[in-house]
A and B are shown apart, each in its own frame.
Chain A
Amino acid sequence: MNKVVFSSWADSIIDNRGLEADKYKDAENLGIPLEYDKHQIKAFMSWNGVVLADGSVNIIDMLNAYIKEVARLSCGQCSVGYLGIKAIKAILGKITGGAGAESDVQSLKRLAANVKENTRCDFCASAVTPVLDTINYFSDEFDKLITGKGSIPQSSYVTRVTAPCMAACPAHQDIPGYIELIKNHRYEDALNLIRETNCLPGVTGRACVAFCEAKCVRSDIDSPLAIRALKRFPADYETNGGIEAAREKGKGGGAKVAVIGAGPAGLAASYNLARMGYKVTIYDEQSSGGGMALVGIPSYRLPKNVLDNEVDIIKNLGIEIKYNIRIGRDITLKELNAEGYRAIFIASGAHLDRESDVEDWGKGYEGVMEGVEFLRGVNLGQKVAPRDKVIIIGGGNVAVDCARTCVRLGFKDVTIVYRRSRAEMPGRKEEISAAEQEGVKLQFLAVPRKVLARGNSVVGAECIRMELGEPDASGRRRPLPVSGSEFVIEADMVISAIGEMPDLSGLTGGSCVNISKQGTIEVDDYSMQTGEPGVFSGGDCVTGPATLVEAVAAGNKAAKNIDEYIKSGSCKPSDMDKLATVLNGIELGEQRGMSVIAQRQRQSPPELKMADRMRDFSEAEQCFTPGAVAQEAGRCLRCYRVMVVAQT
Chain B
Amino acid sequence: MVKLTIDGKLIEARKGTTILEAASQNGIRIPTLCYHESLSPVGSCRLCTVEIIENGKSGLTASCTYPVADGIEVKTGSERAVEARKLALELLLAQRPHSEKINELARELGVRSSGINLETKECILCELCVRACREIVGVEAITFMAQGLNRDIDEPKVMHSLEKCIGCDSCAYICPTNAITVEDVGDTRTINTPGGKMEFKLKKCQVCGKYWAPEKQLDYIIKTNNLEPDIFNTCPDCRD
Contacts and interface: CB of A to CB of B under 8 A. Distances in A.
Interface residues of B, number: 46
Contacts of A598: 61, 65-67
A80 B88 CA distance: 6
A78 B84 contact: no
A76 interface: yes
Contact of A117 (B67, B84, B94): B84
B125 A77 contact: yes
Nearest to B134: A185
Given A120-B62, A185-B134, A596-B54, A84 B91 contact: yes
B156 A77 contact: yes
Given A84-B91, A117-B60, A118-B60, A79 B46 contact: yes
Contact of B116 (A87, A595, A640): A87
Contacts of A78: 43-46
B124 interface: yes
Interface string A332-373: 000000000000000000000000000000000000000000
B147 A118 contact: no
Interface stretch (A41-49, A106-114, A210-218, A431-439): A106-114
Interface in B129-188: 134, 140, 143-151, 155-157
Interface in B28-45: 42-45
A283 interface: no
Contacts of A640: 149
B115 interface: yes
A77 B60 contact: no
Contacts of B147: 72-76
Nearest to A78: B44
Contacts of B65: 120, 598
B86 to A, nearest CB: 9
A540 interface: no
A90 B67 contact: no
A184 interface: yes
Contacts of A256: none
Given A596-B54, A598-B66, A76 B146 contact: yes
B213 interface: no
B59 interface: yes
B148 A73 contact: yes
A83 B144 contact: no
B118 A90 contact: yes
A87 B94 contact: yes
Contact of B46 (A118, A180, A185): A118
Contacts of B83: 114
A185 B60 contact: no
B184 to A, nearest CB: 29
Contacts of A181: 148
B156 A75 contact: yes
A391 to B, nearest CB: 48
A82 interface: yes
B193 interface: no
Contacts of B127: 77
B239 interface: no
Interface in B85-121: 87-88, 91-92, 94-95, 115-118
A185 B125 contact: no
A186 interface: yes
A117 B84 CA distance: 9
Contacts of A82: 125, 156
A517 to B, nearest CB: 41
A541 B62 CA distance: 52
Contacts of A180: 146, 148
B75 to A, nearest CB: 13
A74 B150 CA distance: 12
A277 interface: no
13 contacts: A73-B147, A77-B127, A79-B124, A84-B87, A90-B118, A111-B116, A114-B83, A118-B62, A177-B150, A181-B148, A185-B140, A596-B52, A596-B61
